Amino acid sequence: MSHPRKGCCNNNFAAAHNNNPYHNKDNNYAAAPGKGSCITLNQADKNFHNVACLAQHTHFVVHKKRRLKKPLPKKRFLQKKNHSLSTPNKSRGAQDMGYFAKINALTLRNFKKMSLLQKQTPALQDERLMAYALRLAAKHLGATAPNPVVGCVIALDGEIISTGVTAKGGRPHAEKIAIDKITDKKILKNATLYVTLEPCSHFGQTAPCVDEIIKNSFKKVVIAAQDSDSRVNGEGIKKLREASIDVVLGVLEKEAREINRGFFCTKEKGRPFVTLKLATSLDGKIATQNFDSKWITSKKARDFAHHLRAINDAILVGANTVRRDDPSLDCRIPGLEDFSPKRIVLTQKNDLNLSAKIFQNQEKSETIILSGEKIDLLEALKNLAQRGINSLLVEGGQKTATEFLKENLVDELVWIQNKKIIGSDGISAIGDLGFTSIDQALTGFAQVDVRNLEEDIITTYRKL
């Protein structure tokens, strides 16, 4: 997930994205009346709000096989004969989040080879151009649900002649955008198309992308990952091969699945990818005994948390968090306010105050209320997936976090830990799990990333 030039990404990423409710006895979901009223899970979907992920770069001059360490100004391009690629546009709201450092590290190695070798092997060239397609896809991460985010590159004799990325809202698709940029379609018969996900082969709101590729007689199509959607699932690849188009599958597949982890989780498990975020003191407390929590973590750590909101389709909290903290649950990074996620609240008593912040600005991000004495979390997640929510950020509080862990529904745990110590009388981030033996303790997570932000340590764990 890096830019295709001999360069060094500085891991700057941003996300550029969007007194009682009435009770529904049939499905235990509630909707609040009035301006911008809440919606229930059985109502029609609305447009999804956008998230764009952009990157800043510091580039290096390459002379033959030696890299000079002195960085050039950011607006300079790679100096290589007959090769010049501009960087993606930057957003005024871009801030240093570093969230995609892992994907960047996985793909950066492919770019480092591109300018050092005048004669590249086909496999190396495929990796280089696919890595650029992944970089393009990351720009719109979180903005395309329920569709996956896809990047597409068209190359002729190893040189990029067109690119595309799934548009905000999910349409048009990346392949269609890239092809439409070419005025002389005759040159495509000798071109290669690189796409991060198998081209669709079914009729939906648009015609199949695979038909567009076949119509233009591409010589070769390189695909990162096969689509898990039951409507596609290999059919696009089959149609391309039946049309005598050379198909290469599995180039940077791991990176492609990581970018679309929410989409793959929805298609393969029937529920969104769930990220649980905990912001605690050094001893694991989320507040003092009187529920004072402003602020446990630093400003940069809170910005990072808002970045997580921006790249997820929805954010979920419990009713107690709404009552005590009255959060707005939006993204407040300057320039990204319009790209806030959908807001979801779990409640048993159905006594939320309609003047709460979560019921405001419904035109920007809608609010969904899940109510009932005993909410089946898995069933609720499946309903959210049917509404087109591929990724869900759970922010707590203690009871909600504990229930998701008990039900084994957390795919990723992001723990933001400050150096403050609150003591045993503080409110713990995780409540009673009911374990009586150490053998019962949760052990199904592996540490995948650790980073420092001012006074905080951010540790990411992924379910094994």
Do the beta carbons of residue 341 and residue 309 sit within 8 Å? Answer: yes
Distance of alpha carbon 83 from alpha carbon 115, whole angstroms: 9
Structural contact between residues 125 and 194, judged by C-beta atoms closer than 8 angstroms: no
Active site residue 455: no
The rounded distance, in Å, linking the Cα atoms of 245 and 242 is: 7
Angle, in degrees to the nearest 10, between helices 101-111 and 122-138: 150
Q: Is the peptide bond before 172 cis (omega within 30 degrees of 0)?
A: yes
> What DSSP letter does each residue of 205-221 carry, written as one string?
SS--HHHHHHHTT-SEE
Whether residue 415 is preceded by a cis peptide bond, meaning omega within 30 degrees of 0, is no
The secondary structure element, H or E, covering residue 128 is helix 122-138
Radius of gyration in angstroms for the set of CA atoms belonging to the chain, rounded to a whole number: 23
Number of neighbours of residue 30 by Cβ within 10 angstroms:
21
CA 444 to chain centre: 22
Quick one: which of 114, 111, 95, 90 has its CA closest to 13?
Answer: 95
Residue 253 to residue 227: CA distance in whole angstroms: 11
C-alpha to C-alpha distance for 310 and 259, rounded to whole angstroms: 15
Rounded to whole angstroms, the Cα distance separating 309 from 315 reads 7
CB atoms within 10 A of CB 81: 6
Helix (H) / strand (E) containing 325? helix 319-325
What is 359-383 written as a DSSP string? GS-TTTS-EEEEE-SS--HHHHHHH
Question: Measured in Å, how far apart are the chain's first and last C-alpha atoms?
Answer: 23
Residue type, 137: A
Distance in angstroms (rounded) separating the CA atoms of residues 374 and 139: 39
Catalytic residue among 127, 159, 175, 407: 175
Look up residue 207 and give its amino acid.
Answer: A
* Residue pair 13/99 in contact by the 8 Å Cβ criterion: yes
> Using the 8-state DSSP alphabet, how is residue 452 labeled?
E
Residues noted as catalytic: 175
